[in-house]
Each structure stands twice: as structure tokens, then as C-alpha cells.
């Protein structure tokens, strides 16, 4: 085949002239609808979560409700503190970090889910629009003079999203174990309380969020050009492609629910409420 494909020879025809006058009034936007509502809601929602997260992470107490000693049986460990990896934990999953560490164990692990969400394609859109106004809404002029996209530090770091995804899968697995453990009640009994349900929903939402990730979609088959030769990857890719369009929804649901799960554990652990038991 002799298809030529370089365009270097016609660079002159493809040269773009810039700075020619544009039409329309010189205003920020002509939109009349309430375009600012969405960025506003996003800002409020994300800020509330961050504030809650700081409170939850620094609380360093009341993040576990269940059997404190003896068997590995336990029920509710807040997802903000799971896995609990320090000796000082109210419930230790694996004691990786020794007794010298005496601030909140949440801080050690939260870096992973935080990095995952910070570099998530959806949250990127959300914070670029709502916190950075780049742009605040479609066809609304952004306030910045210069713009370099995601090509420079620090935003270029977002390209490592898939590594956070690997960690996120581990975390989703751990939260699933937590949900299973939420069926185990003190004294080794199997039971189910309202909290168990809260934990199951939490695990399901986290999985939906994690598996609908764009990097996950890429990993399953994004690189494949010949799906006819890769039927298994095609199968996985198609499955992920079903949930991927709802990624934004899962991002919010799982965010709200993980905070609620933590708060539920806090309420039970601090004695504010009594966890209603189904059986």
C-alpha cells in the first residue's frame, strides 16, 4: 500500500490564522438559564464532603462498633478507617504501623481513595468547572487569561489515575469484606442489623463506582482494535461500557453513602443510636 499520510507538505494550507475579529456582543455569556446552579451545587456538595471527611478522619474515635477483643469477629468498622493498619486502632485489620504512630489511623489510608477521586475523570470535570471555572458552564467565558490544560504540573499528575484504580480495587475488596463482617455479631453470632444493610449498600456503590471508571474501561478493552480476536476482552469491555455512562451518578452516590456509613458507625459506636437488629 502506498497511502501517504504526512501532512508536512501541505502545512501552508493548514496554517491557522489567529486573531481575526469575531461576531456577537462582547459579554461573558448570553445564556439566560440558571447556568450557575450546577457549579454552585457541585461546590457545595464537594465542600460539604471534604469538611465531613476532615472531621471524620481526625475524629480518631467511635469508628468501630462491635466486639473489641478475642476472635476476629466484628461488625461495623467505618470505611474511613478500613483497613485499620496501626497498633492504636480500635479494631486492627493488619498491624503494619507500630505503636509510635498515635494520630488518626484514617490518615494513613485515606490518601488512596482521595487520590482516586481527585484524579477521576468525572471529579476532574466537576472541580475544573466548579472550583476553577474552567469553564464554569458551557458557553460561559472562563476568567483565566492563560490556559494550558492538563499538560503541566500539577494537573499532568492526573494521568496516573489508573494506578489509583488498582488501589481502589483493593479497597473495594476490603469494603466488601467489611460488609460481610457486618453480618458477624459479637459472640460469634450471625445476624443482620440496619448497619449491615448500610454496609452492603456501601460496598455495592463502591464497586459500581470503581468498575464504571474510564481507566477500568480502557483496561478491559480500550486498547484493542481487533475485538473479533479478543472475545473475552470484548465481553468485559461491553459490560463496563454499560455502567460507564452512569459513572457520575455512582461517583455522587458512593461519596454520599460512604460518609453516611461512617456517620452511622459513629452514631452506633458513640451510643447515640441503637443499631436495630433484623435477626
Residues forming the site for other proteins (CB under 8 A): 1, 3-8, 10-11, 13-16, 18-25, 29-33, 121, 124-125, 128-129, 134-135, 138-139, 141-142, 144, 146-151, 155-156, 159-162, 214-215, 217-218, 222-223, 225-228, 234, 244-245
126 binds ligand FES (CB under 6 A): no
End-to-end CA distance of the chain: 72
- Distance (Å) of CA 230 to CA 105, 140, 151, 185, 222: 43, 44, 33, 46, 12
Provide the 3-class DSSP secondary structure of residue 277: strand
Q: In the complex with other proteins, which residue's Cβ is closer, 200 or 219? A: 219
CB 215 within 8 A of CB 167: no
Which CB atom, from 74 or from 129, has the smaller least distance to other proteins? 129
Exactly one of 65, 161, 220, 258 binds ligand FES (CB under 6 A); which one?
Answer: 161
- Looking at the Cβ atoms of 28 and 277, the one nearer to other proteins is 28
Quote the distance between the C-alpha of residue 158 and its chain's center. 13
Contacts of 222 (CB under 8 A, 6+ apart): 237
Asked if 247 is part of the footprint of ligand FES (rule: CB under 6 A), the reply reads yes
233 binds ligand FES (CB under 6 A): no
CA-based nearest residue to 219, from 199, 195, 239, 196: 239
* Interatomic CA distance for residues 211 and 99, integer angstroms: 36
Q: Which of residues 12-51 bind ligand FES (CB under 6 A)?
A: none
Name which of 189 and 241 has its Cβ closer to ligand FES.
241
Q: Considering the rule CB under 6 A, would residue 218 count as an interface residue with ligand FES?
A: no
Comparing CB distances to other proteins, the nearer of 74 and 217 is 217
Residue 142 C-beta: closest distance to ligand FES, Å: 23
**Residue 152: Cβ within 10 Å count:** 8
CB 234, min distance to other proteins, A? 6
Which residues, in sequence order, are CB contacts of 139 under 8 Å at separation 6+?
29, 30, 31
User: Looking at beta carbons only, is 74 or 217 nearer to ligand FES?
Assistant: 217
Cell for 188? 460469634
How distant, in Å, are the alpha carbons of 4, 119, 205 from that of 216?
35, 13, 16
Report the residue from 121, 183, 236, 263 that binds ligand FES according to the rule CB under 6 A: 121
Interaction of residue 269 with ligand FES, rule CB under 6 A: no
Binding site for ligand FES (CB under 6 A): 120-122, 161, 165, 213-215, 247
Amino acid at each position: 500500500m502506498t497511502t501517504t499520510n504526512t501532512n508536512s507538505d501541505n502545512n501552508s494550507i493548514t496554517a491557522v490564522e489567529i486573531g481575526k475579529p469575531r461576531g456577537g456582543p462582547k459579554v461573558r455569556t448570553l445564556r439566560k438559564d440558571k447556568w450557575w446552579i450546577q457549579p454552585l451545587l457541585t461546590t457545595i456538595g464537594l465542600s460539604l464532603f471534604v469538611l465531613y471527611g476532615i472531621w471524620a478522619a481526625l475524629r480518631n474515635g467511635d469508628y468501630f462498633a462491635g466486639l473489641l477483643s478475642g476472635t476476629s469477629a466484628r461488625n461495623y468498622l467505618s470505611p474511613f478507617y478500613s483497613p485499620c493498619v496501626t497498633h492504636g486502632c480500635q479494631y486492627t485489620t493488619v498491624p503494619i504501623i507500630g505503636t509510635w504512630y498515635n494520630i488518626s489511623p484514617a490518615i494513613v489510608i485515606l490518601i488512596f481513595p482521595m487520590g482516586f477521586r481527585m484524579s477521576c475523570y468525572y471529579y476532574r470535570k466537576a472541580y475544573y468547572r466548579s472550583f476553577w471555572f474552567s469553564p464554569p458552564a458551557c458557553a460561559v467565558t472562563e476568567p483565566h487569561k492563560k490556559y494550558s490544560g492538563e499538560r503541566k504540573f500539577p494537573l499532568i499528575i492526573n494521568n496516573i489515575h489508573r494506578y489509583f484504580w488498582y488501589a481502589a480495587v483493593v479497597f473495594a475488596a476490603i469494603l466488601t469484606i467489611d460488609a460481610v463482617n457486618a453480618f458477624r455479631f459479637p459472640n460469634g453470632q450471625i445476624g443482620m442489623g440496619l448497619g449491615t444493610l448500610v454496609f452492603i449498600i456501601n460496598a455495592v456503590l463502591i464497586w459500581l463506582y470503581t468498575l464504571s471508571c474510564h481507566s477500568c474501561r480502557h483496561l478491559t478493552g480500550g486498547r484493542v482494535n481487533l475485538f473479533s480476536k479478543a472475545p473475552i476482552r470484548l465481553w468485559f469491555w461491553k459490560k463496563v461500557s454499560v455502567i460507564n455512562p452512569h459513572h457520575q451518578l455512582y461517583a455522587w452516590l458512593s461519596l454520599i453513602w460512604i460518609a453516611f456509613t461512617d456517620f452511622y458507625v459513629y452514631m452506633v459506636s458513640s451510643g447515640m443510636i441503637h443499631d436495630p437488629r433484623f435477626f
